[in-house]
Amino acid sequence: MDHRGSRRLSGKEEWFWYLAAAITYIVCGIWQKFLLNWFIGPLWLVAFVVVGPALWDRVRGLGNGGREDA
């Protein structure tokens, strides 16, 4: 756990999320050309890597550290 109460990603998990962010950005950029710029690209990457694992943990039921009252 880090200071925010969320878990840190392992090396393989981190690579997975960065790769998933890059692939989704490229695929979405094929159809929506406005996504392909220097502002949205880094924002997409950071948002995907920060929000993606937290959402995935919440869907799997791991978001509150196993506590029922959180």
User: Residue 41 has what pLDDT?
Assistant: 86
Residue 1 scores a pLDDT above 50:
no
Report whether 52 contacts 20 (CB < 8 A). Answer: yes
Does this model's pTM top 0.75? My answer is no
Number of domains in the chain: 1
Report whether 22 contacts 48 (CB < 8 A). Answer: no
In a domain, 49, yes or no: yes
In a domain, 43, yes or no: yes
In a domain, 30, yes or no: yes
In a domain, 25, yes or no: yes
In a domain, 40, yes or no: yes
In a domain, 2, yes or no: no
**22: domain range?**
13-57
Model confidence pLDDT, tens digit, residues 41-63? 889 898 988 888 888 888 888 65
Model confidence pLDDT, tens digit, residues 4-47? 556 677 778 889 988 999 999 999 888 888 777 888 888 989 89
In a domain, 4, yes or no: no
